[in-house]
């Protein structure tokens, strides 16, 4: 018996919108959305690693989106 796993695609626009929320205090939501729960919770609890992690994520986000879509 074969089981087919339905792949959920992640929206670029939604990921970026969640990242923007990190700039106003909800850091880590984009990581939770993209399937990175541990780092998402760390970002939530530390304010995006004192905003440094949130700013770095602006450069890492395209790769995280690609990884979530594969």
pLDDT of residue 1: 53
Alpha-carbon distances of 68 from 14, 47, 50, rounded to whole Å: 13, 23, 25
Q: What are phi and psi of 61, to 5 degrees?
A: -60, -45
For residues 28 and 41, the answer to whether their CB atoms sit within 8 Å is yes
For residues 36 and 15, the answer to whether their CB atoms sit within 8 Å is no
Assign 7 a pLDDT band (cuts: 50, 70, 90).
Answer: low
The conformational region for residue 39 under phi > 0 = left, psi -120 to 50 = alpha, else beta, is alpha
> What mean pLDDT comes out for the span 15-28?
89
pLDDT of residue 45: 94
pLDDT in tens, 24-69: 888 999 999 999 999 999 999 999 999 999 999 999 999 999 999 8
């Amino acid at each position: 018996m074969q089981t087919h796993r339905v792949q959920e695609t992640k929206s670029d626009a939604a990921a970026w919108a969640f990242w923007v929320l990190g700039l106003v205090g909800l850091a880590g939501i984009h990581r939770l959305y993209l399937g990175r729960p541990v780092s998402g919770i760390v970002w939530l609890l530390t304010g995006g690693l004192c905003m440094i992690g949130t700013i770095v994520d602006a450069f890492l986000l395209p790769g995280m989106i690609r990884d979530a879509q594969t």
